[in-house]
Amino acid sequence: MDAAQKLRAEIEARRDDLVALTQDLIRIPTLNPPGENYREICDYLDRRLLRAGFHTELIRAKGAIGDSDRHPRWNIVARREGARAGQCVHFNSHIDVVEVGHGWTVDPFGGAVNEGRVYGRGACDMKGGLAASIVAAEAFIAVCPDHAGAIEISGTADEESGGFGGVAYLAEQGYFDPGRVQHVIIPEPLNKDRICLGHRGVWWAEIETKGEIAHGSMPFLGDCAVRHMGAVVAEMEASLFPALAEKRTDMPVVPDGARQSTLNINSIHGGEPEQAADYTGLPSPCVPDRCRMVIDRRFLIEEDIGAVEAEIREVLERVRAGRETFDYDLRELHRVLPSMTDRDAPVVGAVAKAIGATLGRDPDYVVSPGTYDQKHIDRIGRLKNCIAYGPGILDLAHKPDEYVGIDDMVQSAQVMALALKDLLAG
pLDDT in tens, 127-143: 999 999 999 999 999 99
* Mean pLDDT score of the chain: 97
Asked if residues 123 and 18 have their Cβ atoms less than 8 Å apart, the reply is no
Asked if residues 156 and 163 have their Cβ atoms less than 8 Å apart, the reply is yes
pLDDT, residue 425, reads 84
Return the DSSP state at 290: E
pLDDT, residue 1, reads 79
pLDDT tens-digit series, residues 341-378: 999 999 999 999 999 999 999 999 999 998 999 999 99
Asked if residues 134 and 21 have their Cβ atoms less than 8 Å apart, the reply is yes
**End-to-end Cα, the chain, rounded Å:** 17
pLDDT, residue 274, reads 86
Name residue 124's amino acid. Answer: C
Distance CA 194, CA 198 (A): 12
Measure Cα distances from 169 to 2, 44, 162 in Å: 41, 21, 11
pLDDT, residue 426, reads 63
pLDDT tens-digit series, residues 293-346: 999 999 999 999 999 999 999 999 999 999 999 999 999 999 999 999 999 999
Residue 419, classified by CB atoms within 10 Å of its CB into exposed (0-12), middle (13-18) or buried (19+), is buried
Query: 3-class DSSP state for residue 179?
Result: coil
Q: Provide the whole-model pTM.
A: 0.91
191: left (phi over 0), alpha (psi -120 to 50) or beta: left
Cross-strand pairs, 413? none
Taking the CA atoms of 317, 323, 324 and 329 in sequence, report the sign of the dihedral they define.
Answer: negative
pLDDT, residue 120, reads 98
Beta strands in 286-394 (DSSP E): 290-299, 328-336, 339-340, 364-368, 386-388
Asked if residues 185 and 120 have their Cβ atoms less than 8 Å apart, the reply is no
- pLDDT cut 90: percent of the chain above it: 96
Measure Cα distances from 128 to 133, 215, 391 in Å: 9, 56, 7
